[in-house]
Structure 1
Amino acid sequence: MPRRLPHTLRADAEDNRERVLEAARTLFSERGLDVPMRAIARQAGVGPATLYRRFPTKQALIEAAFSDELHACRTIVAEACADPDPWRGLCSFLLRTGELNARNQGFTEAFMTTFPDSFDFTAHRTAMLRSLADLCRRARNAGSLRTGVVLDDLLLMLMAGRGLSAATVDQRVAAARRFSALAVEALRGSGADAPLPPPARFVAGLFN
């Protein structure tokens, strides 16, 4: 019996961790990142002390909850940038991240949030932004992306897509696909591009 106790405790601790992460993903998806930690603990069926023992800060919980989505986003960006046709790659990025955001509405907020104490999250985010900025430049140089469009405009579209709401995930995904398709047409270059207002800056100008 004494030999089984440590194993039982470890199994219980892992079960509590997974319940907390599942609760966090659910509430972040439904309500965004402002959900109180105590609400997450209640949803998970654990006490606040258990939650804070596994995740001492909300930042740590957010990073753990969105690790799968961050990996998926890195894959989307890498595949978009590897496409020899930069316009096709850009369209792929918008369509696929729009659907990712529809499935978990807290992801874009997490991606747009700066975590100064998290080297890994910040480094991955910076690398993805640099890659996307280069993809935008390539598409502009090819004449397929309208003049005046910068990286911040892609982030603006992701943020706008975050506002899509519907009763079910399937409805949100359908709305996200429609929104992304409309956004793609708005970005398409032509010989008669009307001037755009100045961009809203979400990232440092060195990316544009």
Structure 2
Amino acid sequence: MARTSRAPRADAARNRDKLLAAAAKVFGERGLDAPLEEVARRAEVSIGTLYNHFPARRDLIDAIFPVRLAALEQVADAALAEADPWKGFVLFVEGLFALQARDRGLNDVLARRYPASPELSGACHRGFVHLVEIIERARGAGLREDFEAQDMAPLMWAMSQVIRETADVAPDAWRRFLAFHLDGLRAGAAGPLPAGPLTEEQARGRPGEPAGSPGR
């Protein structure tokens, strides 16, 4: 009897692990709007089994990406360990966009292409907790004085779209466009800005969802 009662739980745990592994790969390859049927197929389970474990797409996303966002903390730590503040800032933004380029799902998460749960928002916040420090130490040491932490949001939205549109044809194209942005952020290139930075509330918002945004 004991073996019989444990077996379903063990099978369910194995199926859940297979679904998480498959979803991480599928979302990484195709983004958050990838068909859930493909996730089930790669996990070698039925779509019904997928929905038994994760009733909505959001549940699957929330189970995967808070952990994956921990990589941002490592990028920030490396940036702060760099003695040259400007090089540390460059290290952070290059590391950030390299993570997004390697994982289309993470790119979608950071570009706010899918409504974030409190757990996912918290993971994003933890990943960027050192951003203000990275920017403040770089100001006057290579970074233009008027660049604010909130200015990272539109930069991320722009670079995310470049990554999204060029991933299949020129996967390193984002590096060229980032170099243009970085040249404009150098203190020596600074000129008057036509508008102020976003407010914190605006920076926490997300651009309008594109047509065909992820459903169930």
Identify whether the pair has TM-score above 0.5, normalized to the shorter chain: yes
The answer to which of 51-60 and 87-96 deviates more is 51-60
2:167 pairs with 1:166: yes
Using a 3 Å threshold, how does the CA distance of structure 1 residues 26 and 196 change in structure 2: closer, same or farther?
farther
Q: What is the RMSD of the two structures over their aligned residues, measured on CA atoms?
A: 3.2
Partner Cα separation in structure 2 for residue 6 and residue 203 of structure 1: 52
SS of structure 2 residue aligned to 1:201: coil
- The equivalent position to 1:188 in structure 2, one of 186, 197, 200, is 186
> Mapping of 1:1-208 within 5 angstroms?
4-5=3-4, 8-113=7-112, 115-118=116-119, 121-140=120-139, 142-163=140-161, 164=163, 165-167=166-168, 172=171, 174-190=172-188, 193-198=190-195, 201=198, 203-204=200-201
CA contact (8 A) 2:72 2:128 kept: no
Count of aligned residue pairs for this structure pair = 199
Does the Cα contact within 8 Å between 2:143 and 2:185 map onto a contact in 1?
yes
Distance 1:5 1:150 in 2: 60
SS at match of 2:86: helix
Gaps of 5+ in 1: none
Following superposition, the deviation at residue 74 of structure 1 comes to: 1.6
Q: Secondary structure of the residue that 1:204 maps to in structure 2?
A: helix
Unmatched 5+ stretches in structure 2: 205-216
Alpha-carbon deviation of 1:188? 1.4
**Deviation readout 1:31-79 (Å, 9 max, x if unpaired):** 4323454553345342333223322443331122224421111211233
Determine helix, strand or coil for the equivalent of 1:106.
helix
Q: Which amino acid aligns with 2:178?
A: S
TM-score, normalised with respect to structure 1: 0.75
Distance 1:79 1:147 in 2: 22
Once the two structures are superposed, what CA deviation does each residue of 1:133-152 show, in whole Å capped at 9, x if it has no partner? 23212212x34111332223
CA pair 57-98 structure 1, distance change in 2 beyond 3 A: same
Which aligned segments of 4 or more residues in structure 1 are displaced greater than 6 angstroms? none
Query: Could you tell me how far apart the structure 2 residues matched to 1:12 and 1:51 are?
Result: 13
- Give 2:92's aligned amino acid: F
Q: Structure 1 vs Structure 2: percent identity of aligned residues? A: 32
Deviation per CA, 1:1-31, whole angstroms, max 9, x where unpaired?
x555455544432332233223322332344
CA displacement 1:81-128 (0-9 Å, x = unmatched): 34343212111111111111111022132134453442xx33332244
When normalised by structure 2's length, the TM-score is 0.73
The residue type paired with residue 160 of structure 1 is A
